[in-house]
Each structure stands twice: as C-alpha cells, then as structure tokens.
Structure 1
Amino acid sequence: MTAEAAADLAHTCEVALRPNDFDWAGHLNNSVYPQLLETGRWEWGLAHGVDLRHSPLVAVVLRLQLDYLRTVDWDPVGRLAVRTALARRSAYSFTLAQDVTEPDGTTVARGLVRLALIDRDTKRVHRADLDAMLGSPGGTA
C-alpha cells in the first residue's frame, strides 16, 4: 500500500471526556485510553462505509500496543482527537495506527491495534478482505 493510499484511509474524530474519566491525581485515567482508541476505530470504520453492527463479522483485538506520551490534566468537559489510519494488513488481520491528541495538536498517546475478523456465530476467523469491505455498500464484505 502506498503512503498516499494509507493517507486516504485516515480519519480523525473528536471524543468528549467525562468527569469520571479522571483519576484522583487529576489525570486522565490510563484505562480510558483504550476506550478512546475503540471509539476512533468505530468512527474510522463508519467513515469508510464499514459498519459491523449488523454484520455476521465481529472485529476482535489481537494485539494492543499503547504508548502514553503525556498526561492529560483534569478537564471534565474537555475533548481529545483520535486519528486512525490503516498501517498494515495481511490475509487474516490488519493493523491500525492511532494517535490521541489535545486540541492544540499535542500527541498524548500513540497506539497500534492489530485486529482480526471472526464470524459472530461460529467464532471462526474470517479473511480480512479490506478491499471488499471498504469498497462494498454497507461495508460488510
């Protein structure tokens, strides 16, 4: 995949923070970051026509690598941006690169998430044919 094609598959969404997302030290709790990444992945899929809510396929996380780069201080009505882009793909999995940034553009966390698709009923692994998913109406391959 060319860098240009990967850039075309990037998507950024804004996610609202909640008062309970912060810990006693006044920092965004470390357990919130994977939730931010998940929201970014759903938004990325929907932005590219992939909606697995009513599909026989389910995306499952095979690997999550998350680097915490800076703290996010208490802001009970704050917002962060999550940028999601396709980083790699293989026959049975794909990896998304995700950055979490503050409104000023400061990157506070960086993640790589490797996903696979399984059949909702049989739990069997399904080929991750992103070309078909991203090019088909409804995006359900």
Structure 2
Amino acid sequence: MTAVTPQEFEHTCEVALRPNDFDWAGHLNNSVHVQLLESGRWQWGLALGADLRDSSLVAVVLQLRLDYLKAVDWDPVGRLVVRTSLAGQSSYSFTLSQDIERTDGTVVARGQVRLGLVDRDTKKIHRADLQALLNTPGRVA
C-alpha cells in the first residue's frame, strides 16, 4: 500500500440531528456538539481504513477544545456537516481538527481533539502509528 499524504487525512460527513438534540431555548444543546465530533471521528477513521470496532485498541480522548461560534436553531430533521482533518501526531497521540458546519458551509463550532490508543484488554498505552493503522487490514494489535 502506498504512503498516505497529509492531504488525504481529511474527511467530511453529514450527521442527522434529532428532536432531542435541542434544549428548551430551541438551540442545539452544547453536549450534542461533542457527540457530533465523535461521529465525525468515527466516520473519518472508517473512511481512511482505520476500523477499530473489532480491534484490541481503543481510541481515548486525551484533550478536547471546543469553541462554539454560532447557535444552531431548532430543526428536528436538520443535518450538520463535520469536517475532520489530521492536525498533528506524536509517538503516542494524534490530534484532529474538526469543524461543525451548517450545510451552507457556515462554521458553527470548531474543535481540536487529541487522542491516544489504549489496549482494550491490558489497558496499556499503544503507539499512535496512524500509518500502520491505515495499512493494516482487519484486526489491529
């Protein structure tokens, strides 16, 4: 398999909103933004070939920064776009930049998430080698 370039570490997906995602004021609840980022991260990983669903590795959030830029008003059947890209990598973690956008491209929230990999069984920290994750079919160990 060929090496993946940093530009290829980007993915965009749409996520459906649900009626219970909104608070009493008619705005998207602040906690739902974090769930949208998580959905975007899962779809980012799957799109790039890093499927941890059947893996001994678990991605854990080490740090989360989230800036709320614009309110999302009541729309119980609306959709938002989550744009995810690789922002950096160290030996034991990687950082993703994530934007939540309206379908017209307006950014409503901007996040940055640093993730680490932990072995599900031993609870030991694992090297965060994204290239190996993307080049290894099937179960990752």
CA RMSD of aligned residues (A): 1.3
Q: Which runs of 5+ in 1 are unaligned?
A: none
Please identify runs of 4+ aligned residues in structure 1 that moved more than 2 A.
Answer: 4-7, 138-141
Q: Which residue in the other structure is 1:43 paired with?
A: 43
Q: Which residue in the other structure is 2:135 paired with?
A: 135
Structure 2 residue 125 is matched with structure 1 residue 116: no
**Structure 2: distance between partners of 1:139 and 1:73:** 41
Q: Which residue in the other structure is 2:14 paired with?
A: 14
Which digits, 9 at most, give the CA deviation of each residue in 1:37-95, with x for residues without a partner? 00000000000111111100000000000000000000000000000000000000000
**Structure 2: distance between partners of 1:57 and 1:6:** 23
Q: Which residue in the other structure is 1:55 paired with?
A: 55
Residue 109 of structure 1 and its aligned partner are, at CA, apart by: 0.3
Q: Given the two structures, how large is their TM-score scaled by the length of structure 2?
A: 0.94
**Structure 2: distance between partners of 1:139 and 1:36:** 26
Q: Secondary structure in 1 aligned to 2:5?
A: helix
**Structure 1: distance between partners of 2:73 and 2:7:** 30
Identity score, percent: 70
**Structure 1: distance between partners of 2:139 and 2:102:** 31
**Structure 1: distance between partners of 2:84 and 2:139:** 17
- 8 Å contact kept, 1:49–1:138: no
**Structure 1: distance between partners of 2:52 and 2:73:** 34
